Each structure stands twice: as C-alpha cells, then as structure tokens.
Structure 1
Amino acid sequence: MTPEDLSARHPRLYHVTEPDAWAQIEKLGLLCTSRLLDLFEIEGAERRRLERRRRPAPVPLTHPRLGHIVLNDQMPLREEALERCLDDGLTPGDWLAMLNTRVFFWASEEGLARMLGARMNRTRPRDVLVFDTLSLARAHGPYMEVCPINSGSTIRRPARRGLGTFTAIGEMSYRDWTQKRGGRDRVLEVTLKGGAEDIASHLVERRRLLPTE
C-alpha cells in the first residue's frame, strides 16, 4: 500500500487531543506515550503503570524543562473485556504496551464523529487536529500502519485483536489487505509507530469542539 493508495481513500487523518495541547505538540511533536515518558523522564513503577495499565482519566505530566502535557485517557477500554478478546497469548498489559508505542488517527470523518458522539465524550471540550495523509505517509511511511478496528475500545462487542491487528502500509497492497481480512473490513484507524516530531508540517486544520450537553 503506497502513500498514494492510502491517501486516495483517506485524504485526511484526524487526531483528538485535550484542549490547548497544540502548543506542546508543535514544539515536541505528536509522540506516543512511551516516547513522552522517555522525554519526561518517567521511570520505575509509575512508568510501568502508565504503559501497562488502563488510564481511566487524563494523566498530567510536568517536567522542569519541557513544561506540562496531558496523556489521553483510555476510558473506552476495560481490561476485563480486553482479556476476553485477545489472541496470540497477549495479556491486557501487553496490548496496552502496544497501544502506548503508537499515535492514533481516525481514517474518516465518520469514525471521528462516532467517537466524539459517544456519551463519555459529549460533555468534554476536545481539539481535533486534521492532517494531510499523503504528506504524512510520504514522510513516515515505514512507521505507518492501518487497523480495521477501534483498537482502544472494548465497548459493546469488542473485536478480537492480536499481533496481526496492525499492518504496516508497505507490507501489502490495499486489495491484498482487504482480501486477507475476508473482504469485509475497511481502514478505521491509521497509526504511526513512535509518532512524528515534524507533525506541524503536515497539519491542515485545527478544530475546537465544545461540549454538546
């Protein structure tokens, strides 16, 4: 799957953040949790908790030189439900550690709208960062993956997930990917392993969404 293949189907990618996070993202990059923990020098038991346990609420971090950031919560994910839908011998801690090495984007406005319309999100102000897929994929293609499920949610009937859930875009064509998935799946998420320090150069829009209740 080339950057052109992906961008033809999904020309924009959408990332949801806490309000006013852009100033730090522009400075540090859009980085995964594990890289942020490296930068903010979080080690030991606190690091293991943040990487391998569910975050039920946003987690603020402060560093004397880097300032303040907030790690996104993982409210839609329940470890008990996650344990029942994991393959390949993975534990909930393993899956959470996998998520924390990636940055996540919705691949369409529809997926974004479903996430923002969920009851737990309606009363929260959020910022949505919109990126040019082709630009981002050309710059970071070796680290970019596609995913057919909401990998951070176990609400209702959670999809099974395992080592094959994330597929590097260079691994196979879009047609082969859909055939491998049984012809039923479409790209719901796009991920970037590690993240991107140059993320500001791929931004096309910032949106502030206010609570609806």
Structure 2
Amino acid sequence: MNEQQLVETYPRLWHMAHQGAWPAIRERGLMSSSALLDDYSVEEARKEQLRTMRRPESVPLERPGRPGAVIRDQKPMSDGALSKCLEDGLTPSDWYGLLNSRTFFWLSRDRIWRLLRARAYRDLPQTVLTIDTASLVSAHREKIWLSPINSGATLFKPQPRGLATFARINDFPFAERSKTRNVKNNVVELLVDHSVPDILDHVLAVHEVVNDTLGTELWRSPDAKDDDHP
C-alpha cells in the first residue's frame, strides 16, 4: 500500500475518547496511555502496572497544572485469550505494553460505531474526533503503523497477533487482502507511536455521542465538510 492509496481509500479517521476529554486533547495533544502516564508523573511502580497489565476499568489521572485525563479500560481483552493467540514468544504483558505505547484510530465509520455501541460503552457519553487522514499522514508518516485486526480485542474468536501484525504503510499487504476482504475489513487500525501533540492541526470535528446517538458538536474546523462526523 502507498500513502495515496491510504488517503484515497480512507480519507477520514476516528478516535474515541472519554467524555470531557476534548479540552485536554486540544491543549496538550492526543497521547497514548504510556505518554499520559509519563506526562502525569505517575509513580514508577504504578506506571509499570498500568502499562503492562490489563485494566478492567478506566483509570483517572490528575496532576497539578494539568487538566484531568483518563486512561481507558481494556475490557475487550483477557490474559487467557491473549496467551492463546499471541505469536513470536510474546506475553500478555508484552502486548499490553505495545498497545499502550501507541495512539489508535479507526479507518471505518462502521467500526467506530461498533465500538460506541459495545455493551461496555453504549450507555456512557463518549467524545469522538474526526480526523483528516491526509493531514495526519503527512505530518507523522514515520510514526505510523497499520493493523489488519482490532489489536485491542480478544472477544469471540481471537485472531493471531504478534510482531508482524503492525506494518508500515508501504509494507501493508492491501492489494493481497483486497482479494478476500472489503474495504472496512482490510486496514482496520491506524496507530501512531507515542502521541500526536499537534492533533488540533488534523481534527475536522469533535462530537459527543450519547446513548447510540450523535449528540452535541463540541468543535468544528473551517475545513470540515457536512459529513465529517462519526
């Protein structure tokens, strides 16, 4: 796959954050869980626990001079299921650490709504960012990975995953996968290492989603189109 294919096939990306997250994201950028733990100066032992062990619930973070933040839960995963599907000698702790070091975006509107409608989240207000793919890729191409699976879920029939799961844009086997998969199931996730400090440059719109319904528009770029929403 090349950048032009990626941008033309998936012109928009979506990121789901907790309710009330937008002011902090706008001020300090979009951070991975590991980046947040560093930014909020979490004590080392607690940081290692949150980074390498499954989080059954979301974890609020506080620090003087910082807006409140939340590290999301990892309910869709389990150690037992991961142990059965991990490859390359990886342990569940290795996988949690890898995921926590990256920020995540969905490439399909269907998939962001699937997450919003999941039992764990559908009754809770969520904040959803709509992102311009071309802008993000242009600014962060060296930090971007693509995934063919939902790497943060092991529900139902967990797909194998390992060091080769994530590929750089030019190494992703898009054409080969297109023979057996539709667009929304070809490239499933786009990930950026560590953080996107300039996320405001790439966001087109920010919405609140409540009870499976598109709610308040919290922010909109002058470059946004009418259909820039989840």
Give the TM interval when normalised to the shorter protein.
over 0.9
Mapping 1:41-52, distance limit 5 Å = 41-52=41-52
Paired position in structure 1 for 2:135: 135
Paired position in structure 2 for 1:211: 211
TM-superposed deviation, 1:183: 4.5
TM-superposed deviation, 1:96: 0.2
- In 2, the alpha carbon distance for the partners of 1:114 and 1:26 equals 25
Paired position in structure 2 for 1:26: 26
Paired position in structure 2 for 1:57: 57
TM-score (norm 2): 0.86
- Amino-acid identity (%): 38
TM-superposed deviation, 1:45: 1.5
Paired position in structure 1 for 2:161: 161
Which structure 2 segments of 5+ residues have no match?
214-230
- In 2, the alpha carbon distance for the partners of 1:182 and 1:107 equals 15
Aligned residue pairs total: 209
Paired position in structure 1 for 2:9: 9
Contact 1:142 1:169 in 2 (8 A): no
After superposing on structure 2, the runs of 4+ consecutive aligned residues of structure 1 that deviate more than 6 Å are none
Contact 2:29 2:197 in 1 (8 A): yes
- The alignment's C-alpha RMSD in Å is 1.7
User: Helix, strand or coil: the match of 1:63?
Assistant: coil
* Cα deviations by residue, 1:38-69 (Å, 9 ceiling, x for unpaired): 11112322011110011111100101122311
TM-score (norm 1): 0.92
* Cα deviations by residue, 1:14-49 (Å, 9 ceiling, x for unpaired): 000001101001111101111111111123220111
- In 2, the alpha carbon distance for the partners of 1:109 and 1:182 equals 19
Which structure 1 segments of 5+ residues have no match?
none
95-104 or 30-39, larger mean C-alpha shift:
30-39
Structure with larger RCO (C-alpha < 8 A, sep 6+): 1
